Amino acid sequence: MTEYILLLLATVLVNNFVLVKFLGLCPFMGVSGRVETAVGMSLATTFVLTLASFTSYLINNYILQPLDLTFLRTLSFILVIAVVVQFTEMLLHKTQPTLYRLLGIFLPLITTNCAVLGVALLNVNEQHNAIESIIYGFGAAIGFSLVLILFAAIRERLAAADIPKSFQGTAIAMVTAGLMSLAFMGFTGLIKLS
């Protein structure tokens, strides 16, 4: 049990996907303009990441490895991710039309969010079992959500701040992201996985 909690914490804080591994930067910059959209995006990504992580584990372990087809890994993982994203999009369009419109193009773009494929491939690399895969995917999603919402909150403050002209817009956002990344580097060494 302890190792699962440690794995979760390690994925959320120490090996944060956005700020330490630098995966999934596109939505990190793209939908962090407002906190509400950031929360919506976080929920959608959490759903997709966890589900995709588990499904790709199943496919890798029960279909590709027994049949010796591991060279199909990337291809089939992308297939899984695309299907999960498409499913999420339909679900959201039906249940949350406002959120669906707010997220716009970034919702289908979860497909190309490299954090999703990254989690699936890292699961294979680190030889996680089923539960570990779910926790790893979920942890990656929580880390992504945490950073995205924090960043969105900072950017909402920045919108009202008196910023020098040459730093306005994306420039100050990049600087902020860099500083946040530095702060997250401080978690290194908090947890040591054997």
Partner 1 sequence: MTLISALIVLGVLALIFGSILGYAAIKYKVDADPLVDQIDEILPQTQCGQCGYPGCKPYAQAIADGDDINKCPPGGDNTIHKIADLTGREYTPLAGTESDDVAEEVKKVAYIREDECIGCTKCIQACPVDAIVGASKAMHTVITDECTGCDLCVDPCPVDCIDMLPLAQTTQSWKWQLDAIPVKQVH
Spatial CA neighbour of 37 closest among 29, 175, 162: 29
Q: How far apart are CA 121 and CA 9, in angstroms?
A: 20
**Amino acid at the residue 3:** E
Q: Give me the phi and psi of 10, to 5 degrees please.
A: -60, -40
CB of 154 to partner 1, least distance (A): 29
90 binds partner 1 (CB under 8 A): yes
The separation between CA 134 and the C-alpha centre of its own chain, rounded to angstroms, equals 13
Task: Say how far residue 121 (Cα) sits from the centre of its chain.
Answer: 14
Give residues 93-132 in contact with partner 1 (rule: CB under 8 A): 93-94, 97, 101
- Which of 6, 25, 29, 79 contacts partner 1 by CB under 8 A? 79
Q: Which is nearer to partner 1, 16 or 37 (CB)?
A: 37
Answer for the pair 120, 77: CB distance below 8 angstroms, yes or no: yes
Q: Residue count at the site for partner 1 (CB under 8 A)?
A: 20
Per CB under 8 A, contacts with partner 1 among 49-78 are 59, 63-64, 67-69, 72, 75-76
CB of 31 to partner 1, least distance (A): 20
Q: Can you give the binding site for partner 1, defined by CB under 8 A? A: 59, 63-64, 67-69, 72, 75-76, 79-80, 83, 86-87, 90-91, 93-94, 97, 101
